[in-house]
Amino acid sequence: MVYNIIVSMCECCRQLKNELAEERSRRNAIEQELSLAMQMIEMMKRKMFGRSSEQADPDQGTFEGLLSDWDKLNGESAVPPTETEKIEYERRRKTQNNNLNGRVKIPEHLERVDKFIDIPDSEKICPVTGEALVCIGEDITEQLACEPGRLYVIRYRRPKYVSPDRRKGNIVGVLTALLPESPIERCKADVSLITQIIINKYCDHIPLTRQEGIFAREQIGIPVSTMADWCRESANVLKPLHQLLKDTVLSCDYINADDTRELFLQKNGEGAKKGRMWIYVANMMKLPDNKDGPIENIKLMFFDFSQDWNEEHPLKILKNYKGFFQSDAYPGFKNAAKLKDITAIGCWCHSRRKFLDALKAGVKDAKIFVTLINILYRIEHHIGELKKKNVQDDVLLALRKKRALRVFKKFFKKVNSTPALPKSLLGKALTYARNQEESLKRYVENLRFKPDNNVAENFIRPLCVGRNNYLFMGSEGGGRTAAILYSFIGSCRALGINPYEYLKDVLSRINSLPHSRLHELLPHNWQKLRQQK
């Protein structure tokens, strides 16, 4: 009887222990979920109401000091390096905009309109001697002036000629000069107006509805649908050149890629759908005409529009590409980077952003990772300063490898030894870094390579500004039209070309130019020919 009671009590104790363990497990799970939820709430609050800047703390110290602090934090002995280098930085002091008091630099090429302001004749007599005052010079004050965009009409007056004996059965007929080449047949708009409408929308982000209102103030009625047709027809004319631009970009051995969403209206009237705009930027090396001159880095780009965010789109573009490919960790780009002729380069900016999100959400363990990534960028800044002083490339490459590899070792050692929940902000950042370890290290192999994909991000950012203004594309065709026009405007921006002058000239000549000379209209070739002339 006593034995049965003891056994029953032991069984009850065992059940209580199991229930207590399960309760502790549930409590730990609830605490983890609560912690993750609080991190997400804090991150969303910062995205909605906080600063979006990713600028690092300016008081971080020098390269060797940061590494020494890192060693102390991890209980390692800070061994002083055998050789030290001092990295100095000059920061431009932020000042208020005082250009309102005449400090604006007025370009010399602008037209000067003189306006003479003289004193009255009655004041040109000296009050002391009574004689006429002598002019000894003049004060010249310059101010920038502006007039609203001037619209005018071009009237092509073409004399008509006939044979003098036309009444005697002559079949010569009426002869007149041909009209200038136009990208759109029987169009009431000159190529200059069509180009301006394109620039207004795709470069300055002014929707067609607003442009319609601008023309209406000048008592000119141009419907939105008409301007949309002009943009579409112009893009159709530029399609062969866009294909040539695409082939030129993909022939480069080092390209960057990125993507962004782009809404477009569906034909079936079901509202807007999320499409995708893809950008591919080529970093081409231009050999100087003079062998002693520096090698220039030319950037060309093309955009591609798709109806969805499917992985097949970058694979279709890059299936025959051979070279180095830098992007973020989007699965489509990752799969494309696995092709046999493509070598992937990772993006430290994306990795840093994930650790920075965790740090802003209150995860203190993320600070060391942000600090180490900041050191990598300080190294790049120092190398850029030395390059301006004409230090040889092999010396700079050796310096980059020496310092960056040391940071890599400490960074990934800490990544692999830091525990974190996989779904937490820190856990996602650690997973990203582990999966991208090899590609993140690859940029040190060549000075042409950058540690991040900011080149593509910077050129795709204007699309986001335009999207905030016009909200969506009118159709899938509108997205493809935008991709073609954005390609040339973005390339012009990268090369420092006035996109209005470029598109106006190209649209007026492309129909009459033989296909064998089409390459002359590519932005970099067009710029070179203009400079030679």
DSSP line for 286-322: E--SSTTSPPEEEEEEEEEEESS--THHHHHHHTT--
Query: Does 353 fall in a domain?
Result: yes
Range name among 86-90, 133-137, 166-170 with the lowest pLDDT average: 86-90
Query: Does 103 fall in a domain?
Result: no
- Residue 375 domain boundaries: 347-452
Q: What pLDDT does residue 77 have? A: 44
**pLDDT of 342 higher than 80:** yes
Mean pLDDT of the chain: 84
Q: What pLDDT does residue 79 have? A: 40
Range name among 5-19, 263-277, 429-443 with the lowest pLDDT average: 5-19
Residues forming a β-bridge with 305: 277
pLDDT band, very low/low/confident/very high, at 331 (cuts 50, 70, 90): confident
What is the identity of the amino acid at 182? S
Task: Give the contacts of 136 (CB within 8 A, at least 6 positions apart).
Answer: none
**pLDDT of 96 higher than 80:** no
Residues forming a β-bridge with 256: 281, 326
* 428 and 479 within one domain: no
**pLDDT of 326 higher than 60:** yes
- Single out the residue of 124, 464, 482, 507 nearest to residue 305, CA to CA: 482
Query: Does 91 fall in a domain?
Result: no
Count the helices and strands in the chain (H runs, E runs).
16, 5
**pLDDT of 278 higher than 90:** yes
Q: What pLDDT does residue 71 have? A: 55
> Quick one: average pLDDT of 67-92?
50
> Quick one: average pLDDT of 488-497?
94
Q: What pLDDT does residue 156 have? A: 87
* 298 and 204 within one domain: yes
Query: Does 116 fall in a domain?
Result: no
How far is residue 364 from each of residues 210, 256, 367, 425, measured CA to CA in Å? 48, 33, 6, 12
pLDDT, tens digit, 9 for 90 and up, residues 289-305? 555 555 567 899 999 99
With residue 95 as reference, give the H or E element that holds it.
none
* 432 and 285 within one domain: no
**pLDDT of 115 higher than 90:** no
CA angle, residues 360, 364, 368, in degrees to nearest 5: 100
**pLDDT of 443 higher than 70:** yes
Residue 493, classed as helix, strand or coil, is helix
Which residue has better confidence, 175 or 440?
440
**pLDDT of 82 higher than 60:** no
* 310 and 253 within one domain: yes
Sheet bearing 296-306, strands edge to edge: 296-306, 272-286, 254-265, 323-326, 342-345
* Entry pTM: 0.81
Check the CA dihedral 70-74-75-79 and report its sign: negative
Q: What pLDDT does residue 39 have? A: 66
* 274 and 310 within one domain: yes
> Quick one: average pLDDT of 167-191?
80
* 282 and 213 within one domain: yes
Domain end position, chosen among 418, 452, 486: 452
φ, ψ of residue 408 in degrees (nearest 5): -55, -45
Structural contact between residues 371 and 66, judged by C-beta atoms closer than 8 angstroms: yes
Which residue has better confidence, 40 or 341?
341
Domain end position, chosen among 396, 417, 452: 452
Domain end position, chosen among 403, 422, 452: 452
Give the 3-state secondary structure of 356-394. HHHHHCCCHHHHHHHHHHHHHHHHHHHHHHHHHCCCCHH
Nearest-angstrom CA–CA distance, 212 and 329: 42
* 439 and 322 within one domain: no
* 364 and 335 within one domain: no
- Single out the residue of 255, 337, 269, 260 nearest to residue 298, CA to CA: 255
- The domain total for the chain is 2
* 425 and 360 within one domain: yes
**pLDDT of 406 higher than 50:** yes
Q: What pLDDT does residue 352 have? A: 94
* 379 and 402 within one domain: yes
* 351 and 376 within one domain: yes
Query: Does 154 fall in a domain?
Result: no
**pLDDT of 287 higher than 60:** no
Q: What pLDDT does residue 105 have? A: 81
Structural contact between residues 70 and 371, judged by C-beta atoms closer than 8 angstroms: yes
Task: Give the contacts of 296 (CB within 8 A, at least 6 positions apart).
Answer: 285, 286, 288
> Quick one: average pLDDT of 41-68?
61
Q: What pLDDT does residue 284 have? A: 83
pLDDT, tens digit, 9 for 90 and up, residues 347-386? 999 999 999 988 888 888 999 999 999 999 999 999 999 9
Query: Does 158 fall in a domain?
Result: no
Q: What pLDDT does residue 64 have? A: 57
Query: Does 509 fall in a domain?
Result: yes
Q: What pLDDT does residue 504 have? A: 94
Query: Does 313 fall in a domain?
Result: yes
Most distant CA pair in the chain: distance in Å? 142
* 359 and 338 within one domain: no
Nearest-angstrom CA–CA distance, 425 and 427: 5
pLDDT band, very low/low/confident/very high, at 420 (cuts 50, 70, 90): confident
